[in-house]
Structure 1
Amino acid sequence: MDYERLIDAETWAFIRKTGESYADDAVELSIAEQRDVYDAMCRDFHVARPAIVQTEDLSADGVPVRHYWAGDPTRTVMYFHGGGLVVGGLESHDDICAEICAQTGYRVISTDYRLLPEHKHPASFDDAWTSTQWAANQFNDGLVLVGDSAGGNLAAAVAHHARGRLSEVLGQVLIYPGLGGDLESGSYHQHAQAPMLTRDEYLYYQQLRFDGPVPENDPTCAPLRDSDFSGLPPTVLISADCDPVRDDSRQYCEKLLAAGGRAHWINEPGLIHGFLRARHTVGRARNSFERISAAIEALGQKIWSYD
């Protein structure tokens, strides 16, 4: 794959800066070391919260969450952070959540779910579901589920599980999510050696998730393997074109549409996994973040702009 041609100079500068604190061989470090270098990388890209945003750390029925708000919000965004379910937390995506809050006017609840490998599946899903139920009961004003990477997996898993259980889910926005697609075909092979995330690194995170064999047809860990895609909320998927998990978004969109639902897939050319951290330095990432915020705001208002 000719990434020198596909990826522009701004994005390459972002990739190089990322590599200064989070090297390509980071998965060979101990779990504690991986978390340290990931947190350091996130601090390198962190920007100050917009001045209008206020925060408080709370317990959502035992799950740590951070509540962001500005003014008098009318909707709630549930945000699930990326990091392979191994790294990341409330600090790693703090500025992203604050900017979503400022741009949409909605409150944001960021969930500090339990991480692998100490807490195997379904611990992270259980925490995502618990915090979502808590927010629905606490605010009672409609939910938009949002997540990036592994957090996109959790957001979709919550959406599937919420059918018949929560009426407050208005939509979901999934940002370069890994949803349990076929690892032997498509983008998993086409972009197996992509910058920022390789197929082998993705497999590493997946193998940490379970004590035994990978569960079959379990949408709480692999939403693409559900047998029923009806009754899901309106969904916007944003993928990076140079990313092994890209086709999960396309396939998920196709399954929702085939089941009669509303779904729209945006594939961002020349972008790579993890581009949210580049939204202040890379034009393509900045434009994508604007599309993400617009999608969140529209879904919260029950507006569908993609027909």
Structure 2
Amino acid sequence: MMQDYQAILDDEIWAFLDKTAQFYPPDAVDLTVQEQRAVYDRMCVAFDFGRPDGLRVSDVPFGGVPCRIYESTEDSAATVFFCHGGGFVVGGLDSHDSVCADMCTRTGFKVVAVDYRMSPEHPHPDDFNDAWAAFEAVAASTDGPIVLCGDSAGGNLVAAVAHHARGRIDGRITGQLLIYPGLGGDMTKGSYIEHPEAPGLTTKDMAFYSAIRAGGADKTGDATWAPLHDSDFSGLPATVVLTAQYDPLSSDGAAYRDAVTTHGGKAVWLEEHGLVHGHLRARRMSTKAALSFDRSIASLKALSLGQLPRL
């Protein structure tokens, strides 16, 4: 059944989508990768709200991977390890700069953003290997709690880090916040068939990014490729998955929550009503997106204590 998004999305979200389309057209996957990166970067500049006053920002490598550190206090209570979205093809430290700055200011936590290598130049597992190398170095550099956080492709990467950390770096990750992540769910049901052409992300987009990232290899069963492909969901940190109602990826949130709780873990899934993929950029344009960001901040604070938030 085709959805009438013009009727069901509110005016603020349509203003966000219209502004997005001015820079990053809906058919952007038909462009070359270099062209996609150029238009994506221009779009992110248009949604960059700058950094709050008093923030200390520095570019420092961790594990040989370029990273950016955000600090608002001298003695942070926790560290947020952040991986950006962009289909493993576009994005970088600058694309999510104001998001990380706002997270740092609102929580008081140190935020470390990771500039992992991207496809097609560096197909999987290079992206995961960079995320893991950076995480190992960050974990070695601080004694405090670490909360993993990422949006879209970044949500996939930090969840893969959480799975891989078990038995390797135990007890350091107190929680993970996954924001509209792609986790490798069943594409024959749920939101995948309800919203295949949703504004913000389509299943055509997903197929494009997945094929480029795979580099021609079969990744079935590889949890570093898709955390939902894992067979063991025990021993994972407290997990919050925030998804968008009108997003083909939304069902991944429910599937991942169920997998974690079935194996005795703590997890909650919240499907944000009336929102679309990419709504982090809309947090200054949309009341619903702003409230969702508030829930992200509350989640980070609770997860730093190993607790689930009261959302």
TM-score bracket, normalised by the shorter chain, equals over 0.9
Q: Which residue of the partner structure matches residue 145 of structure 2? A: 142
Q: State how 1:256-275 maps to structure 2 within 5 Å.
A: 256-275=260-279
Measure how far apart 1:204 and its partner are: 0.5
Q: Give the letter for the 2:127 counterpart.
A: S
Q: Which residue of the partner structure matches residue 59 of structure 1? A: 61
Q: Which residue of the partner structure matches residue 193 of structure 1? A: 197
Q: Give the letter for the 1:37 counterpart.
A: V
Q: State how 1:102-181 maps to structure 2 within 5 Å.
A: 102-166=105-169, 167-181=171-185
Q: State how 1:158-307 maps to structure 2 within 5 Å.
A: 158-166=161-169, 167-306=171-310
Q: Which residue of the partner structure matches residue 7 of structure 1? A: 9
Q: Specify every segment of 5 or more residues in structure 2 that has no aligned partner in the other structure, as ranges.
A: none
**TM-score normalised over the length of structure 2:** 0.97
**TM-score normalised over the length of structure 1:** 0.98
Correspondent of 2:78 among 75, 79, 101? 75
- Distance across 2 between alignment mates of 1:230 and 1:306: 23
Measure how far apart 1:306 and its partner are: 4.4
- Distance across 2 between alignment mates of 1:213 and 1:183: 19
Q: Give the letter for the 1:136 counterpart.
A: A
CA contact (8 A) 1:264 1:306 kept: no
Q: Give the letter for the 1:101 counterpart.
A: C
Pair 1:259–1:57, CA change in 2 (3 A): same
- Distance across 2 between alignment mates of 1:26 and 1:305: 36
Measure how far apart 1:214 and its partner are: 2.5
Measure how far apart 1:52 and its partner are: 2.2
Number of matched pairs = 307
Q: Which deviates further from its counterpart, 170-179 or 210-219?
A: 210-219
Identity %, equivalent residues: 48
| Aligned structure 1 segments of 4 or more residues deviating by more than 6 angstroms | none
Q: Give the letter for the 1:41 counterpart.
A: M
Correspondent of 1:35 among 37, 48, 60? 37
Q: Give the letter for the 1:197 counterpart.
A: L
Q: Specify every segment of 5 or more residues in structure 1 that has no aligned partner in the other structure, as ranges.
A: none
Q: Give the letter for the 2:47 counterpart.
A: F
- Distance across 1 between alignment mates of 2:46 and 2:296: 23
- Distance across 1 between alignment mates of 2:219 and 2:45: 35
Q: Give the letter for the 1:23 counterpart.
A: P
Q: Which residue of the partner structure matches residue 20 of structure 1? A: 22
CA contact (8 A) 1:192 1:198 kept: yes
Give CA-to-partner distance per residue, 1:91-145, whole Å, 9 cap, x none. Answer: 0000000100001110000000001100011000001111111111011211100
CA contact (8 A) 1:189 1:199 kept: no
Q: Which residue of the partner structure matches residue 99 of structure 1? A: 102
Root mean square deviation of aligned Cα = 1.1
CA contact (8 A) 2:303 2:309 kept: no
Give CA-to-partner distance per residue, 1:211-260, whole Å, 9 cap, x none. Answer: 33322211101100100011000000000000010100110001111111
- Distance across 1 between alignment mates of 2:91 and 2:142: 26
Measure how far apart 1:209 and its partner are: 1.1
Q: Secondary structure in 1 aligned to 2:148?
A: strand
